[in-house]
Amino acid sequence: MSLNVKNAPGSQVLKRRDRVNGTHVVMAFIAFTLVTLIGSNAWLAWRGYEKELGLAKESSLNLAHAVSQQFDSVFSDVDRTLENIGFRIEQGNMSRQAIKALQPELVNSLSRSDHLHSIFVFDRDGLSLVDTQPRRSSSTRNADRPYFLAHMTNPSTRMRISAPLLSRTTGTWVIPVTRRLNDGNGNFIGVILASIRVDYVRDVLDGYAIGEHGAAGLSLADGTILVRRPFDVADLGRNIANPHITAGLKSFRSGTARMVSPVDGVMRVLGFEFTQNHPVVVAVARAESEILRSWWRSLFIQSIMVLVLSVFIAIFGRFVVHIIRLRSQERLEIERAHQQVSEANLRLQHLAAHDGMTDLLNRRAFDARAAALVSHSARHQRSLSMLMLDVDHFKAYNDHFGHQPGDECLRLVANALKSAARRPADVLARYGGEEFIMMLPETDAAGARTIAENAIQAVRALRIDHPRSPLGIVTISAGGTTTQFAPPMALTLTELIEQADAALYEAKTGARDGYREHGARPQDR
pLDDT for position 115: 92
Same domain assignment for residues 134 and 84: yes
Last residue of a domain, one of 321, 352, 383: 352
Q: Domain range holding 70?
A: 11-352
Whether 341 and 396 map to the same domain: the answer is no
Residue 31: count of CB within 10 angstroms of its CB: 12
The domain boundary residue, chosen from 320, 352, 384: 352
Displacement of CA 94 from its chain's centroid (Å) = 75
Give the catalytic positions in this structure: 434
Q: Tell me, yes or no, whether 72 and 112 share the same domain.
A: yes
Q: Is the dihedral of CA 203, 204, 207, 213 positive or negative?
A: negative
What string of pLDDT tens digits covers the 525 residues of the chain?
444 444 444 444 444 455 456 677 878 888 888 888 889 889 998 999 899 999 999 999 999 999 999 999 999 999 999 999 988 888 877 778 888 888 888 898 888 888 999 999 999 999 988 888 776 555 667 889 999 999 999 999 999 999 999 988 888 999 999 999 998 888 999 999 999 999 999 999 999 998 899 999 999 988 899 999 999 999 998 988 776 555 555 567 889 888 888 888 899 999 999 999 999 999 999 999 998 998 999 989 989 998 999 898 888 888 888 887 777 777 778 888 888 888 878 878 877 778 888 889 888 889 888 888 888 888 888 889 999 999 999 999 999 999 899 999 999 999 999 988 888 889 999 988 899 999 999 999 999 999 999 999 999 999 999 999 998 999 999 999 998 876 665 678 888 899 999 999 999 887 788 999 986 544 444
Whichever domain contains 257, its CATH number is 3.30.450.20
Q: What integer pLDDT is reported at residue 32 of this predicted model?
A: 87
Tally of domains within the chain:
2
Residue 357 lies in a domain: no
pLDDT of 487 reads 65
In this prediction, residue 523 carries a pLDDT of: 41
Residue 314 inside a domain? The answer is: yes
Cα torsion 449, 453, 458, 464 to 10°: value is 130
Q: Are residues 304 and 411 in the same domain?
A: no
Q: Where are the extended beta strands (E) located within 348-491?
A: 384-391, 427-432, 435-441, 476-483
pTM for this entry: 0.56
Give Cα separations from 141 to 123, 124, 131, 169, 174 (angstroms).
9, 10, 12, 11, 17
Q: Which of 299, 319, 352 is the last residue of a domain?
A: 352
CATH number at residue 398: 3.30.70.270
Among the listed residues 121, 113, 116, the one whose alpha carbon sits nearest the alpha carbon of residue 96: 121
CA 468/CA 465 separation, integer angstroms = 9
Sort residue 39 into left (φ over 0), alpha (ψ -120 to 50) or beta.
alpha
Are 165 and 176 spatial neighbours (Cβ–Cβ below 8 Å)?
yes
In this structure, are 90 and 188 located in the same domain? yes
Q: What beta strand segments (E) does 184-292 contain?
A: 188-197, 215-220, 225-229, 254-260, 267-274, 280-287
Cα(81)–Cα(115) distance, rounded to whole angstroms?
Answer: 13
Q: Rounded distance, CA 358 to CA 406, Å? A: 12
Is 302 in the same domain as 382? no
Nearest to 420 by CA among 372, 392, 380, 460: 460
Query: Assign residue 422 a region: left if phi > 0, alpha if psi is -120 to 50, beta otherwise?
Result: alpha
Give dist(CA 354, CA 458) in Å, integer: 22
In a domain, 296, yes or no: yes
480 & 442 share domain:
yes
Q: Is residue 4 part of a domain?
A: no
- Report helix, strand and coil shares of the chain as percent, to nearest 5: 50, 20, 25
> Do 249 and 379 belong to one domain?
no
HEC readout, 141-190: ECCCCHHHHHHHHCCCCCCEECCCEECCCCCCEEEEEEEEEECCCCCEEE
Task: Of 414, 397, 396, 415, give the one whose Cα is nearest residue 406.
Answer: 397
